[in-house]
Amino acid sequence: METSKRPKHKGSATLLANPFLERLTHTPIHYPLIIFSVISAILIYYGIVEKGFGVPGMILLFFGGMFFFTFIEYLTHRFLYHLPTSGPTSEKIAYTMHGVHHDYPKDKTRLAMPPVVSLIISTFLFVIYRGIMGDYVFGFLAGFLMGYTTYLAIHYSIHRFRVPNNFFKVLWHHHSIHHYRETDRAFGVTSSLWDRVFGTMPRKVNRE
């Protein structure tokens, strides 16, 4: 994934020549936060009211889905967004998916995937999970999508707000290391758990 050597903290990159399509690459953060919170609530309601799941079981599925999202978040960031490129076409794709974010980390309209794309992916995941786990999908996917919503909120906050003076500051520091010091490490955003499991914690931490 090719990016510029020094991130730019002002402005925004132009990815597409067509003005209409270019606008679609910009996503105000409140759109996906609202969309996926509502979908998650609908899935929970449907699971309890229509499918007869008890609240304790739904809670268990929900948090299982949220936890599984942290794993998928890590894998996606490490192996898809930072996939090595082999030519101009793959470099363009990689830059559009993620490289632009490294070049313009403060661009608030490119801190979330366009809702159309994420809705298509969510539909695909529903079909896959439904085939694997049947009706348990309603609680599990609700948690998974809320995990995605949490990720978006945390990621947006890291790039747009000052480091908080509380336990969340470790997430700010961890992600800043990924952007400004070691782009081949610190892939977790909502948690450093999987970086610890797979040995991709920042090198300074590894020496301690």
Q: Does 7 reside within a domain?
A: no
- In the chain, the largest separation of any two C-alpha atoms, in whole Å, equals 55
Q: Does 185 reside within a domain?
A: no
Total residues belonging to the chain: 208
Q: Does 11 reside within a domain?
A: no
Q: Which residue has the tokens 């008890």?
A: 54
Q: What angle do CA 68, 85, 75 make, to 5 degrees?
A: 10
Q: Does 28 reside within a domain?
A: yes
Q: Which residue has the tokens 């007869």?
A: 52
- pLDDT tens by residue, the chain, 208 residues: 555 556 776 789 999 999 999 999 999 999 999 999 999 999 999 999 999 999 999 999 999 999 999 999 999 999 999 999 888 999 999 999 999 999 999 999 999 999 999 999 999 999 999 999 999 999 999 999 999 999 999 999 999 999 999 989 999 999 999 999 999 999 999 999 999 999 999 986 444 4
Q: Which residue has the tokens 């400004």?
A: 180
Beta strands in 59-179 (DSSP E): none
- In degrees and rounded to multiples of 5, residue 186 shows phi and psi of 55, 55
How many Å apart are CA 117 and CA 88, to the nearest integer? 23
Q: Does 208 reside within a domain?
A: no
Q: Does 94 reside within a domain?
A: yes
Q: Does 183 reside within a domain?
A: no
Tokens standing for residue 100? 């632009």
Three-state secondary-structure class, residue 51: coil
Three-state secondary-structure class, residue 24: helix
Q: Does 3 reside within a domain?
A: no
Half-sphere exposure of residue 76, counting CA atoms within 13 Å on the CB side? 13
- The pLDDT score that the predictor gives to residue 184 is 95
How many Å apart are CA 63 and CA 118, to the nearest integer? 21
Domain containing 53: what range?
19-162
Structurally, how many domains does the chain consist of? 1
